Structure 1
């Protein structure tokens, strides 16, 4: 029931790297304590390390970049990262439990399962539990406490490995304020959902601090047979402490310590519904899921040092450590059959379905697995930034180096139950370590260099990344709980790879710029796997438009995989051994990302704004060769088969009214139909997730200078829809829910 959180230094409006975050924090401190003395050299340093740099900076990146500001986050007060990201084109999402606790995020067709195919960071530090050896994000930073969110795709994302095919997601935590102040935010709504978010801090000349908590709980929107809680409780804590030299020191330096903690208890299950039961009672939870519960604890520590060596050179070094422990106790098998197979074919498993619905059974009929795992992730990373001019050409160069190691320790068992009058009764307790008893780990060196070259109307951004990864898996078997090594099997692998990339932008005129890029995509194989690394060559080209009132972009992408990997996870619902990897060979993913934002009242004399937002993503992802696989989502594949869980069409639209002390915003997303198993042509009904559209409403009213009240409605039209057919059976999206809240700044 604990889960402590991952954090690093933060930057409110700039950058994506530790360097950019560090410079921003340094500048914030310097501007608050020495506003009159803020040096032009530091300003130039901040400009040089701009990677996203807010909405305007995102328009200048040689690649696809999106910045979601704190103001945008406040429009709907989302705590679910799925809803936060849904207006970003090129991002693929698959909801699961309705709250975004363990999201499934992909980019440009990478696959979405547990966000394992993207580089996930908080403040520029890897945030997955074990990014190299077990990247599936069973822990995800609390989106509700973030100050802003950055998304990077394309050639410029090679700085953020190890996964470089789709892109990187960087969650930016709350910064230390420039002066004493804070905020209290309390809200309550449907299903006894409660949120309490509070933070405060202060900056002095040489010492600054910030403390924050985010408490989030709900009774859940699903109805368990015979009653019971289907919700969750989370507690999130974050502190930052910073010391720095005098702003006018010959070498300005700062040292920032960041500590985070997150605890979670969630009564969540992998057991979904049959299609008939979903059609009749979509928010039902079967009796056989009554024991299912996730308990998790996480802690993270980071120490960042920044030094401005000269007006045109600085270095940032970060030490980080993350510990994560979780035990998801959940139903896995009934009468020896996996729940995914039962729900896929309920007519052939009528006896098992009767027990799942609460009918009496014999002893040991239900198997509940204690998915007990402990993770750690730690390392040191350093970025040296420098800039110089050669005639009319400007160079901004970054050199980065990281040593990282991580590990996942599985020590699991299975308890057996019978169903007695709708209640599960323990009949045989499993011995710890008797189901899975193994340790997987990785050690990795990574380095990159990237030069942003500006001349005339051109910006070129060549870059090169190197990854050297050693993995090891030690499997002690199921009969050696003390790990004496009597049945030990050791598997070791190494991967070394160079990852080049090149991006370019051309400023055609004051309003229009053109962009193009090419880079190598890479994802490392898991420890113990004999699979080759995932590799691709990725292209993008497009244009941007910005006239100060209307802003838009359209980018086409083409990812040419020479080898696509699929990884067996419990969340994928595949009937395979957890951790096994499968090679699909050649795959082609191509598509289009487009977005437009426009203030309809900008050129009028209205006293209010009418912001309009549109977004569209088209994705075509097909296998280029045929094969047979025990990976359930692929199965028997023919050339031309479409990849599963990737809708071809996604459309978003939003419009709002903003006045001086109130605003209202509507946001809608259409998700096209998608198949759940690879195939082509018409999608069979039992392999399809139907298209749907969900509309959200948000509004707030500032009734005093420092206070406002807000109301949000998610799923305004109360649409009933399915989001997936995995891990086991049909899963519903969240129904209509309300939240009423009050914010006070001080």
Structure 2
């Protein structure tokens, strides 16, 4: 613990120095245009046009895209971006599983997940699983970076980066509010207000306050009754100070999140899913997640001229979560425990255990039949990152140089215990309470320095963007026995150091105005966890394609190939749990290749014809296979033969969008088609017990401006109430969300 204290003291001194230097720099002012948003330099692109101009695969969804359907589930929103792989779980997207270009999807741990350019997973290095995910409902934009563009962020560069951009302080005093209600006791209240005001000559003060409340009663039903929904509150406050000449901008952001959700890892047997897909067994009645999260972020930007800029961000994220949920069932011999994933996969062999899970009326189970774990964890992530920008010319070539550095430290503190229950007449009765820390008493820590350099070189119609990232990561895992809650004597201490160079290069040729050929290559990297004995996940990734942005047309067609030297799987409860939680597994060589296509056109215009009809298409083809044979205790892999396909990767994903915009009315429709996939690696016909259903889903949205700033808004998700299985992990078949209707009133001022 002394080492941790020393790190925190050093970081605190660095933060104080940054703040003091920022305050002094703000006193200077010189005569420039209005400042850009404080975090603009952290982004790969800050708008759709910029995304199309980048020499690589970057997609950008702006505020209009996000407002069209007003999704709360990030899985539904991210269907609009090619190359993104999604493994649904709870139907609401509370803990989405997101991958990019074939990277692992489990808890989004194989992508760089950010909010406003800052790593936002609870412990991005020590424990990158995203048990906290920012609410899509309060975002103003979403940026997904793939290929060489992804190495700007790190440490996860195998697939890419997902950056969620929060509501900025508006230039003019303005606001927004909405009240919506709908199916399954759904309620949403969301609003923000803010702006900038003159403070003195040459100085402005700004502020924003935003609040979000979301509730659902849940669409599943426990046999004995009980809640299956969630309740979330999310508050954001921003304070800003900027010079009117555009040289200086200082912004402080606070975000506080609180969630209670009656979510479980327990799914259904395949037969029960087919009969009653929205059922939950009685053994899940005690399952509940309680989570809270706070973000503190201070951003300063200094731009002495149009050619030079410096941005520094200091941040701290605190996350606590206690997920109290069914973990396993006592085995028949009364000598140990069977995982719930094994039981629901084979209810005949595990008939006694299955009876304890179902808890039928009149049934009395074993006094030690059910074990519920309090997955109590605390996370902290703290850091400072800086970015220097310079524009200059050498002969006929222009340069946009970026240099960045980041110091980051994070930790995951596990202090968990198991409680034992008996099932009696459909109700769970506590028979033995565990002592806090008796199940897992450990601390995982990470300290990392990261450096990045990139130069965008433009010579006529040719743009070349070489970049290089370096990460040095110190990982440490300390374990104590369950009988040592004060952590006096560690049972083991394991340390690891990782040093990695991550190069990349992108090229673009604008052979005609608005038309580009692009190509790129970069090294993919994913850091191992504390105490891991596996090699880091590495790959070489390549892409090439075509971009068009002309008049009302936009089109991108990009092929990609990821050549994994070593694929890594991490054992978590969410992958099935038939392994030691936290262990990592080598998957050897693998190839992931595919095609990403996105395009659109807008027919007509409201100004000229009185209407506009926007249409667009998003398509992803993915072909991913292992290139080595091996046996693994990692449940999604199992026994693998060379040529086996990777799990949870549908070959085809297609989203078709169309709308009709009138002066005061907007109608939108989206059709999403996903081909079947397998839950376990393999080839040939997918067994029914491993088949993830293909599906075709239709969503509708409409908005009518009824009076001035007031409008009526409504959506229908899964219009035809399609029933489909989205996964067999964590434990058993799991349904996607049924038809859901949401509607209400909006106001903009």
Q: Same fold (TM over 0.5)?
A: yes
Deviations 1:515-552 (Å, cap 9, x if unpaired)? Answer: 00000000010001011111100000000122211211
Q: Distance in 2 between matches of 1:535 and 1:492?
A: 20
TM-score by length of 2: 0.92
Q: Please state whether the residue corresponding to 2:348 is helix, strand or coil.
A: helix
1:441 aligns with 445
Q: Distance in 2 between matches of 1:458 and 1:48?
A: 23
Note the residue ranges of structure 2 that are not aligned, 5 or more in a row.
1-25, 199-203, 331-336
2:616 aligns with 613
1:737 aligns with 2:740: yes
Q: Please state whether the residue corresponding to 1:449 is helix, strand or coil.
A: strand
Deviations 1:479-532 (Å, cap 9, x if unpaired)? Answer: 2222111x5200000000110000011001124210000000000100010111
1:154 aligns with 147
- In the TM superposition, 1:247-326 aligns within 5 A as 247=245, 252-326=247-321
Deviations 1:1-31 (Å, cap 9, x if unpaired)? Answer: xxxxxxxxxxxxxxxxxxxxxxxxxxxx9xx
Q: Distance in 2 between matches of 1:512 and 1:574?
A: 49
Judged with a 3 Å threshold, the aligned counterparts in structure 2 of structure 1 residues 516 and 447 are, in CA distance, closer, same or farther, namely same
1:149 Cα shift? 0.6
- In the TM superposition, 1:55-94 aligns within 5 A as 55-94=48-87
Q: Distance in 1 between matches of 2:123 and 2:46?
A: 29
Q: Distance in 2 between matches of 1:53 and 1:81?
A: 20
1:725 aligns with 728
Deviations 1:630-649 (Å, cap 9, x if unpaired)? Answer: 10111111100111011111
Judged with a 3 Å threshold, the aligned counterparts in structure 2 of structure 1 residues 50 and 217 are, in CA distance, closer, same or farther, namely closer
Q: Please state whether the residue corresponding to 2:104 is helix, strand or coil.
A: coil
Q: Distance in 1 between matches of 2:272 and 2:186?
A: 26
1:186 aligns with 2:179: yes
- In the TM superposition, 1:356-395 aligns within 5 A as 356-358=357-359, 359-395=363-399
Q: Distance in 2 between matches of 1:246 and 1:725?
A: 56
Contact 1:111 1:646 in 2 (8 A): no
Note the residue ranges of structure 1 that are not aligned, 5 or more in a row.
1-28
1:207 aligns with 205
TM-score by length of 1: 0.93
2:91 aligns with 98
Q: Distance in 1 between matches of 2:298 and 2:183?
A: 40
Q: Distance in 2 between matches of 1:88 and 1:310?
A: 35
1:39 aligns with 33
Q: Please state whether the residue corresponding to 1:288 is helix, strand or coil.
A: helix
Judged with a 3 Å threshold, the aligned counterparts in structure 2 of structure 1 residues 504 and 352 are, in CA distance, closer, same or farther, namely same
Aligned with 1:413 (options 417, 425, 430): 417
Judged with a 3 Å threshold, the aligned counterparts in structure 2 of structure 1 residues 703 and 635 are, in CA distance, closer, same or farther, namely same
Contact 1:549 1:602 in 2 (8 A): no
Q: Distance in 2 between matches of 1:255 and 1:620?
A: 46
Q: Distance in 2 between matches of 1:459 and 1:49?
A: 20
1:38 Cα shift? 5.4
Contact 1:212 1:238 in 2 (8 A): yes
Contact 1:254 1:305 in 2 (8 A): yes
Mean Cα displacement is larger for which, 520-529 or 336-345? 336-345
1:691 Cα shift? 0.7
Judged with a 3 Å threshold, the aligned counterparts in structure 2 of structure 1 residues 45 and 196 are, in CA distance, closer, same or farther, namely closer
Q: Distance in 2 between matches of 1:547 and 1:447?
A: 37
Q: Please state whether the residue corresponding to 1:488 is helix, strand or coil.
A: strand
1:573 aligns with 576
Q: Distance in 2 between matches of 1:571 and 1:294?
A: 14
Aligned with 1:689 (options 678, 684, 692): 692
Q: Distance in 2 between matches of 1:627 and 1:101?
A: 34
1:234 aligns with 232
1:43 Cα shift? 8.1
Q: Distance in 1 between matches of 2:721 and 2:140?
A: 29
Q: Distance in 1 between matches of 2:551 and 2:420?
A: 64
1:603 Cα shift? 11
- In the TM superposition, 1:544-563 aligns within 5 A as 544-563=547-566
1:264 Cα shift? 0.4
1:497 aligns with 500
Judged with a 3 Å threshold, the aligned counterparts in structure 2 of structure 1 residues 538 and 223 are, in CA distance, closer, same or farther, namely same
Contact 1:45 1:312 in 2 (8 A): no
Q: Please state whether the residue corresponding to 1:532 is helix, strand or coil.
A: coil
2:353 aligns with 352
Q: Please state whether the residue corresponding to 1:387 is helix, strand or coil.
A: strand
Q: Please state whether the residue corresponding to 1:348 is helix, strand or coil.
A: coil
- Structure 1 segments of 4+ aligned residues over 4 angstroms from their partners: 42-50, 602-605
Give the number of equivalent residue pairs: 708
Q: Please state whether the residue corresponding to 2:107 is helix, strand or coil.
A: helix
Judged with a 3 Å threshold, the aligned counterparts in structure 2 of structure 1 residues 146 and 604 are, in CA distance, closer, same or farther, namely closer
Q: Distance in 1 between matches of 2:368 and 2:226?
A: 23
Aligned with 2:102 (options 100, 109, 112): 109
Q: Please state whether the residue corresponding to 1:204 is helix, strand or coil.
A: strand
1:141 aligns with 2:139: no
Contact 2:32 2:244 in 1 (8 A): no
2:14 aligns with none
Aligned with 2:653 (options 650, 655, 660): 650
Q: Distance in 2 between matches of 1:44 and 1:698?
A: 31
Judged with a 3 Å threshold, the aligned counterparts in structure 2 of structure 1 residues 45 and 410 are, in CA distance, closer, same or farther, namely closer
1:54 aligns with 47
1:712 aligns with 715
Q: Distance in 2 between matches of 1:603 and 1:237?
A: 37
- In the TM superposition, 1:394-543 aligns within 5 A as 394-485=398-489, 487-543=490-546
Q: Distance in 1 between matches of 2:319 and 2:39?
A: 34
User: RMSD between aligned alpha carbons?
Assistant: 1.9
Mean Cα displacement is larger for which, 634-643 or 196-205? 196-205
